[in-house]
Amino acid sequence: MTDLLTRKLENFAPLSGEDRRFLAELARPSRLVRARTDLIREGDRPNDVRLVLEGFACRYKILPAGKRHIMAYLVPGDLCDLHVFILKKMDHSIGTLSACRVVDIPRNRILEMLERPAIAQALWWSALVDEATLREWLVNIGRRPAERRVGHLLCELLMRLQTVGLVNGTSYELPITQSDVAETMGLTLVHVNRVLQRLRARNLITLGSRQLVINDVAALKAFSEFDPNYLHLDENAKTLERC
Amino acid sequence: MTDLLTRKLENFAPLSGEDRRFLAELARPSRLVRARTDLIREGDRPNDVRLVLEGFACRYKILPAGKRHIMAYLVPGDLCDLHVFILKKMDHSIGTLSACRVVDIPRNRILEMLERPAIAQALWWSALVDEATLREWLVNIGRRPAERRVGHLLCELLMRLQTVGLVNGTSYELPITQSDVAETMGLTLVHVNRVLQRLRARNLITLGSRQLVINDVAALKAFSEFDPNYLHLDENAKTLERC
DNA sequence: CGTAAAATTGATCTGTCTCAACGTGGGTGG
DNA sequence: CCACCCACGTTGAGACAGATCAATTTTACG
């Protein structure tokens, strides 16, 4: 439960004991945020970086017609806005989906982090994986039919939550609403509902009361054309290169 | 025509004369690549960074069904794969759409670039803008009907090509195929054709023989819900912050 | 000039949306 | 601790944007 960030970053770069200690201390003053609350809004200039410890948050934009589109999920261990040091204004908002525990990490803390080579490299890795994920989502939404699209999302979350130890066998907590899924996939909530029923009917998943069970992981992955290489999880660099 | 990269980066960070000289020299040994040719493929481990000087290239993935999806356009002045130093394997391919002039910049050249604070900052800015563009595309594909979707793309290209001086008034060369547009927008080539006709009928654009004229920029932007803030062009930082 | 790539047109089909109810479970105030 | 209530999930019927299939015309170019 503790040290999710460490756990996640270690997936990529080997960290020293001191690195680990440093990261563990980051999570010190955390706060609770209720569901459906904005952490930062489009147009704001961010002052610090947020780290999610518990719960699901998301990046989103609101369209002129008032509809929300979700562009990324932030799950425990995820860090937002390393951008802080470069871009002046947020071009999108970040809000919680479920109740969350978050930490606000001030700028100078981040600068200290970036001075530790292993952490810095792992942080860039994480930023690049976020970008790769965006590309995969683009393909997912652009090209796959609704059923595969939703299946793909469930597979991705399985992998991501696994890296922070939030998966029990083949099951994880999914504290979001069907309407959230709809706003993520560019679908209607009505259609998401039917799609989930069809995934259940195919005996691929069991979903109820915020708990997802993937009945047959290999089958769901195959069905959803899920190829995890975009998550770059197998690149546990033993070499420390320059950042 | 020369120094597109300089021109682009200056949009964000003020560069010294020496910075400019440095960037100008980068483009030295350039090569021509014919249309529809891969520059690098999914699975490859990149050795150097590519810079596009002329023509259009794109990032793409091929789906199991054999269909290609384009996830980004690379236009003159665009740099690919700063990732080189972090990620081991390409999770997507890059290929030319039209004939292109490109430069291959070796690793050590890049390291030298990153040692120049102004250039380094501008480079990170550019990477973050690429990511923001991906998010905007996600919304575009996920939520907007075909006509607006295509209009949005044309507006974005107008802005991006403007920053490198490739726009004449309100017109620019668009050396890509309707089928390329289809593969970018998650639409059918047949439907893209009809959409373009409708945009012409609305008197928003004139398009023929690789040349696009936007008849009424304000109208097209409004119609396409185009808000350029995600390109972060107005942030000509006069301050040099730490990277 | 000939030929292949690109653009265009027409007819039909379908996945997803829209609108409109209705069911349900878990939290909260009385 | 029960009853109410509201957010969430579910179901049905009908409409439509965009897909598919299949030609045909136009353009670029060797």
pLDDT at residue A242 is higher than 80: no
pLDDT at residue A240 is higher than 80: no
Cβ-based burial of A144 (10 A; exposed 0-12, middle 13-18, buried ≥19) = buried
Integer distance in angstroms from CA B139 to C1' D22?
Answer: 33
- Which of A92, A134, A143 is facing B63, going by the closest CB pair? A143
**Model confidence pLDDT, tens digit, residues A197-228:** 999 999 999 998 899 999 999 999 999 999 99
The structure tokens 């594909």 sit at B141
**Model confidence pLDDT, tens digit, residues A141-192:** 999 999 999 999 999 999 999 999 999 999 999 999 999 999 999 999 999 9
Tokens of A95: 């809000």
Nucleotide nearest to A177 (CA to C1'): D8
**Model confidence pLDDT, tens digit, residues B158-192:** 999 999 999 999 999 999 999 999 999 999 999 99
Report which of residues A140 and A86 the model is more confident about.
Answer: A140
DSSP A190-209: HHHHHHHHHHHHTTSEEEET
- Predicted pLDDT at A161: 96
| Residue A42 banded pLDDT, cuts 50, 70, 90 | very high
Nucleotide nearest to B179 (CA to C1'): C6
pLDDT at residue A237 is higher than 80: no
Report which of residues B201 and B121 the model is more confident about.
Answer: B201
- Which of B87, B180, B183 should be substituted to probe chain A, the one whose Cβ sees the most A Cβ atoms within 10 Å? B87
Residue type, A210: R
Rounded Cα distance between B190 and B193, Å, is: 5
Mean pLDDT over each residue of chain B, to the nearest integer: 91
Residue of A nearest to B65 (CA): A225
Contact residues on chain B for A85, CB-CB shorter than 8 A? 241-243
Distance between B233 CA and the closest CA of chain A, angstroms: 10
Q: Is B63 on the interface with A (CB under 8 A)?
A: yes
pLDDT at residue A2 is higher than 60: no
Tokens of A152: 């793909």
Report which of residues A230 and A120 the model is more confident about.
Answer: A230
Rounded Cα distance between B27 and B24, Å, is: 6
Backbone angles phi, psi at A99, to 5 degrees: -65, 140
User: What pTM, to 2 d.p., does this model score?
Assistant: 0.93
Report which of residues B213 and B114 the model is more confident about.
Answer: B213
Half-sphere exposure of B230 (CA within 13 A, CB side): 21
Integer distance in angstroms from CA B144 to C1' D20?
Answer: 22
Q: Which residues fall within 8 angstroms of residue B124, CB to CB, at 6 or more apart?
A: A86, B243
Q: Which residues fall within 8 angstroms of residue B112, CB to CB, at 6 or more apart?
A: B22
Rounded Cα distance between B16 and B200, Å, is: 44
pLDDT at residue B240 is higher than 60: no
Give the three-class secondary structure for A222: helix
- Predicted pLDDT at B243: 35
Nucleotides of D under 7 A from a protein CB: 7-13, 17-22, 27-28
Q: Which residues pair with A96 in a beta bridge?
A: A57
Residue type, B170: T
**Model confidence pLDDT, tens digit, residues B10-67:** 888 888 889 999 988 887 789 999 999 999 999 999 888 999 999 999 999 999 999 9
Residue type, A13: A
Half-sphere exposure of B76 (CA within 13 A, CB side): 27
Distance between A24 CA and the closest CA of chain B, angstroms: 24
- Which of B64, B135, B143 is facing A67, going by the closest CB pair? B143
Contact A103, A30 (CB under 8 A): yes
Rounded Cα distance between B49 and B78, Å, is: 11
Distance between B87 CA and the closest CA of chain A, angstroms: 7
